Structure 1
Amino acid sequence: MMMLGGKHILVTGAASGIGAAAARVFTAHGARVACLDINADGAAEVAAVLPGAISARCDVSDPTSVAAAIDAVIAAFGRLDGAFNNAGIEQSRGRMMPLETIPLVDFDAVMAVNLRGLFICLQAELPRLSRPGAIVNTGSVMSAVAAPGLAAYAASKHGVMGLTRVAAVDHAALGIRVNAVLPGAVATPMILERAEAHAPGYAAAAAGFHPMGRVAAPEEIAEAAAWLISDRASFVTGAALAVDGGLTAV
């Protein structure tokens, strides 16, 4: 049997980047995937070329939107076996700035999606998840370390690990595993377009931050998430899997 054969998995932030790659990778491993994103058209485009996939609009910062999307997924699939909570935004449209200069509205926007949004998704998913079931959250190397100019983003991603660990210990005895992937720099629009627009040369410089000398492909993060969701990771919960080319090892 394929690694995710027979599983029904939702992916948030599925319209592009790591989320879109995850939808493709999970499908290739045998899952039926629900592509959720605030960009409904983008999510639909990803789902349209994947066998058995569906899509729905989902604003992770809105509890009503999240609940409606998950209800639609379960109505279509009959069950929910796993979730990849991947939706997230960067700080200030990719700008890095000292903590004291970050506008409060920008801080609040990052927290609303990256942390509050994850909390909302977990609250909606955990009671509806099949048992055994598995959830993977997208953290970041900024869940474990810090970098200049990224106070809001780092705070949100540190919070991701707090929620991941508490959810894991709260639900371990119920047969639900909760883990996180911690990507380094990834070749997505967040790096290649928005960060690059504010700091020309950033994408090339990011490769040098990693001992492996390159940034990740989105599919490399998706493969790690697929393993964590699969039964092959059946004794793994509360873990932070760094997929960062060695960045946090130095």
Structure 2
Amino acid sequence: MGKLDGRVVIVTGAARGQGEQEARLFRAEGAQVVVADVLDDQGRAVAEELGALYVHLDVAEEDGWRAAVAAAKEAYGHVDGLVNNAGILRFNTLVDTPLEEFLQVLRVNQVGCFLGIKTVAPVLEDGGTIVNTASYAALTGMAGVGTYTATKHAILGLTRVAALELADRGIRVNAVCPGAIDTAMSNPAQLDPTADAEQMSRALDELYRKLVPLGRIGRPEEVARLALFLTSADSSYVTGQPFVVDGGWLAGVSVI
């Protein structure tokens, strides 16, 4: 028996990184998974390996969401869960951020999350779940990533409002708030076939040894396990909450 037996879950940004690990873990726990992404080749490969359904989805396009939901229902008959995982990051100071860049990040991170809730919630089975990917930066500030931080704060607001509005149907809505995680977002070497991604991972561990109480960068599998908890019956009395998975980074800094 898996923790998600009989459930159908849509995972966005599932072609790689956290989303891929969520899709893999959910499938291993018995769910039918809809792998949604704009990276078609990678997404299809993941879906084929898992025996899952792949759908092309630009999360900022409402028509794309409608098509993804229709495909999920056609394939499996119902939808029980959503993981709004897709997101992008840009580095810039606020005063140097072009409006176009700000809107690009907002479009994917914030609008994408909003459209996911708006489109999927009406078709979710009662007792369904939504997990939104926020960030450590949703609960504090971080210089150099102001646009990203603003969108992740907004995702927490959307999470809380959705939890209130959907509670009468038993639909639970929560947010995962990862710190630094070893994905392509933090480790661009994963996108360069000529680079040594494992060497970069070791370098990141050394960097975060000085910043994070647990002394290393996080792994996408660790975020996936938290998303599983929030999607399964293990969290049956939990809704409207942010859950930080950051190795203790948010707790503070040590001076000794």
Residue correspondences, number: 243
Let me know the Cα RMSD of the aligned residues.
Answer: 1.9
Q: 1:230 aligns with which of 221, 232, 251?
A: 232
Distance 1:27 1:216 in 2: 22
Instruction: In structure 1, list runs of 5 or more residues that go unmatched.
Output: none
Q: Is structure 2 residue 187 aligned with structure 1 residue 192?
A: yes
Structure-1-length-normalised TM-score:
0.93
Specify the SS of the correspondent of 2:70. Answer: helix
Question: Which aligned pairs between 1:210-225 and structure 2 lie closer than 5 A?
Answer: 210-225=212-227
Counterpart of 1:28 in structure 2: which amino acid? A
Deviations 1:4-35 (A, max 9, x none): 11111110000110000101011111111110
| Deviation beyond 4 Å, 4+ runs, structure 1 | 194-197
Q: For the structure 1 residues 195 and 55, does the alpha-carbon distance in structure 2 shift closer, same or farther, using more than 3 Å as the test?
A: closer
| 1:35 alignment partner in structure 2 | 35
Which segment is superposed worse, 148-157 or 185-194?
185-194
Q: Is structure 2 residue 132 aligned with structure 1 residue 137?
A: yes
Distance 1:214 1:232 in 2: 28
Q: 1:102 aligns with which of 82, 97, 104?
A: 97
Question: Which aligned pairs between 1:148-159 and structure 2 lie closer than 5 A?
Answer: 148-159=143-154
Instruction: In structure 2, list runs of 5 or more residues that go unmatched.
Output: 193-199
Question: Which aligned pairs between 1:231-246 and structure 2 lie closer than 5 A?
Answer: 231-246=233-248
Identity of aligned residues (%): 40
Q: Is structure 2 residue 40 aligned with structure 1 residue 45?
A: no
**Do 2:213 and 2:248's aligned partners in 1 also have CA atoms closer than 8 Å?**
yes
Q: For the structure 1 residues 57 and 196, does the alpha-carbon distance in structure 2 shift closer, same or farther, using more than 3 Å as the test?
A: closer
Distance 1:185 1:221 in 2: 11
| 1:194 shift after superposition | 7.2
**Do 1:6 and 1:31's aligned partners in 2 also have CA atoms closer than 8 Å?**
yes
Distance 1:195 1:248 in 2: 26
Structure-2-length-normalised TM-score:
0.91
Distance 2:182 2:68 in 1: 28
Distance 1:90 1:173 in 2: 35
Q: 1:166 aligns with which of 161, 169, 186?
A: 161
Specify the SS of the correspondent of 1:130. Answer: strand
